[in-house]
Structure 1
Amino acid sequence: MPPAWLGTRVLPRTAAGYGEIRPTPRELRDRRFTLPDTVPMLPGTGFASRVEIAPADVIARSTWVQGCPVAASDLAWVRLTFWGFDDRRHTGELLVKASVADQIVQVFGDLYRARFPIEEMRITTRAELTAPPTGDGNDTGSFNCRPKAGQKTGFSQHAYGLAVDVDPFQNPYVNGSLVLPELSSSYVDRSDVRPGMILPGGPVVRAFARIGWTWGGDWHSLKDLQHFSQNGT
């Protein structure tokens, strides 16, 4: 079970606007719980998916606004099943560029069959963009209309629906002393392998490579261990 305080303990902000980097709490050093699903379970007993052009109500609860670099009509609402840390079948949702929706379904079908565990899979909300940092989020997601990490201008590939982050807490973004999520420092040591970690040659890297997407864990100037994108950025 997740600790009762998960997502509630606000971190002081740094001058860069992130939360203060702190040691990983004991309860999260070997993180392996699954949060409640936010969409109804898809029928069946194995991998399943549903893809449709994103309805207006789904767009309304996402980060999409006028001025985002992708039209709302070009985003697909993808629901699919995934394997949780609780060894059970779950259903989550993603917003992705419609042109890659079938490929993303293929990736998560591969991960389901490999029983790669995922904590939660849901659409990022607009409120989360300005929410105070708690440093303990772990949402597997795609579309997020925001700038590139560490920059104030220029859109991230997430803003196009052409990038996916998988289990961010177990697979943090690391750039010098900056670690995001801010409480995930215990996962910077990749030699201490725990469930949910993305490793070179592992099932997640292989699944995305099969559709031609590349991994931020292969970058040299920084490591974005959670991040996969179509164009490599």
Structure 2
Amino acid sequence: MSVRRAYAVPLLAVLVASGCGGGASPVGGPAKATLTPSATASTATSSSTSSSTAPSATTSARPSTTPRTRMTTAPTRHTAATQPPPPAAAALSPVPRAGAEPTVRFPRNEPAVGSGANASVAPVPDALWNRMVGYSWTAGCPVGRSQLRYVRVNFWGFDGVRSRGGVVVNASIAGATAAAFTRLYALQFRIRQMKPMDSGWGRNPKGPGANDYAAMNADNTSAFNCRYVGGQEASKVYSKHAYGTAIDVNDFENPYVADNGTVYPDTYFLRRAPAPGVFTGGGSAVGAFTSQGLRWGGSWSHPDYQHFER
């Protein structure tokens, strides 16, 4: 038994040493570091202390998981305040009485339609043509209905009210006529009334056509009227009005001087002083027509201040 005990002790020592990891690692494998209990405790304590006093490298590198709030409201732009345009005039002051007045001071005109001059050009409508036949148009006239146009436009009346009227003109000057009266509206140029020559004026007592003398005395603005030259009917020469290529505006304020010296309809405004509804040489109102290729009769040797033609 003593012999067995002697061999058993060394063998037990070898087995204990091998079980504690002191033996060699497998060939080619890494060596394992073994910490003693004291070293392990020291390392754990150091790690715990470091994590409580400073953020770890892993924590500082990780992006924040807190969602960021985005600006959803567009930035406010600061722009200069724009002043609204002044309101369009609804009415002007009535024109005071002059030294001479037409048969009707403030005619009853149609109300204005739409804003501004609102000019329009259209064929002569049936109702108007029916009133013209036998008066401002008769058989044998140099132009027919198909060559004429009806120009409608707003204007400033002598009563200060925005009104609407129309003239019948040759189709060749319809656009120019609309543009000229649009310009007069912008200038706030006064027009007494604007009615086509038709049965409402009666027949001309001195020849064909509607009664232009009644229209002049009423200070009516008109254009087409198949008649002879005013004051010279014996010549039987058709006026430019018979072709629709002439326009008379504010006859009373802009009189016509015939070749024999007779003044129609009144001599008062031969003084040509600036006044509402009066055309003066070089003025903007005359330019409204001459800029459209129409000639002004006010510059003739026997002036016709109311007259524009092409």
What's the TM-score once normalised by structure 1's chain length? 0.78
Q: Secondary structure at the match of 1:188?
A: helix
Check conservation: 1:174, 1:188, Cα contact below 8 A.
no
After superposition, the Cα gap between the structure-2 partners of 1:132 and 1:207, relative to the gap in structure 1 and judged at 3 Å, is closer
Amino acid at match of 1:50: S
Q: Secondary structure at the match of 1:129?
A: coil
Does residue 55 in structure 1 map to residue 125 in structure 2? yes
Q: Secondary structure at the match of 2:108?
A: coil
1:140-175 deviation line (CA, Å, top 9, x unaligned): 000011011213312100011100001000000123
**Which runs of 4 or more aligned residues in structure 1 lie more than 4 Å from their structure 2 counterparts after TM superposition?**
30-33, 131-135
Deviates more, 1:128-137 or 1:75-84: 128-137
1:192-224 deviation line (CA, Å, top 9, x unaligned): 33211110011221011111111111101x111
| One of 222, 227, 247 as aligned partner of 1:141 | 222
Q: Percent identity?
A: 34
Does residue 159 in structure 1 map to residue 242 in structure 2? yes
**Of the two structures, which has the highest relative contact order with CA contacts closer than 8 Å and spacing of 6 or more?**
1
Amino acid at match of 1:129: N
For structure 1, the 5+ residue unaligned runs are: 1-26
Which residue matches 2:176?
Answer: 103
| One of 200, 204, 218 as aligned partner of 1:129 | 204
What's the TM-score once normalised by structure 2's chain length? 0.59
Check conservation: 1:42, 1:91, Cα contact below 8 A.
yes
What's the RMSD between the two structures over aligned residues?
A: 2.1
- Max Rg structure: 2
Which residue matches 1:180?
Answer: 264
| One of 160, 166, 190 as aligned partner of 1:117 | 190
After superposition, the Cα gap between the structure-2 partners of 1:119 and 1:128, relative to the gap in structure 1 and judged at 3 Å, is farther
Check conservation: 2:113, 2:164, Cα contact below 8 A.
no
Which structure's residues are more often strand, by fraction? Answer: 1
Q: Secondary structure at the match of 2:154?
A: strand
Check conservation: 2:113, 2:154, Cα contact below 8 A.
no
| One of 197, 206, 213 as aligned partner of 2:294 | 213
Q: Secondary structure at the match of 1:212?
A: coil
Which residue matches 1:226?
Answer: 306
Amino acid at match of 2:116: G
Which residue matches 2:114?
Answer: 44
Amino acid at match of 1:227: H
1:101-131 deviation line (CA, Å, top 9, x unaligned): 1111000000000000000000112414236
Deviates more, 1:89-98 or 1:126-135: 126-135
Q: How many Å separate the matches in 1 of 2:213 and 2:298?
A: 24
For structure 2, the 5+ residue unaligned runs are: 1-96, 206-210
Q: How many Å separate the matches in 2 of 1:56 and 1:65?
A: 16
Q: Secondary structure at the match of 1:207?
A: helix
Q: Secondary structure at the match of 2:263?
A: strand
Cα distance, 1:82 vs. partner?
A: 0.7
Amino acid at match of 1:104: T
Q: How many Å separate the matches in 1 of 2:212 and 2:290?
A: 35
Q: Secondary structure at the match of 2:233?
A: coil
After superposition, the Cα gap between the structure-2 partners of 1:34 and 1:46, relative to the gap in structure 1 and judged at 3 Å, is farther
Q: How many Å separate the matches in 1 of 2:212 and 2:233?
A: 18
Cα distance, 1:186 vs. partner?
A: 1.0
Q: How many Å separate the matches in 2 of 1:31 and 1:105?
A: 28
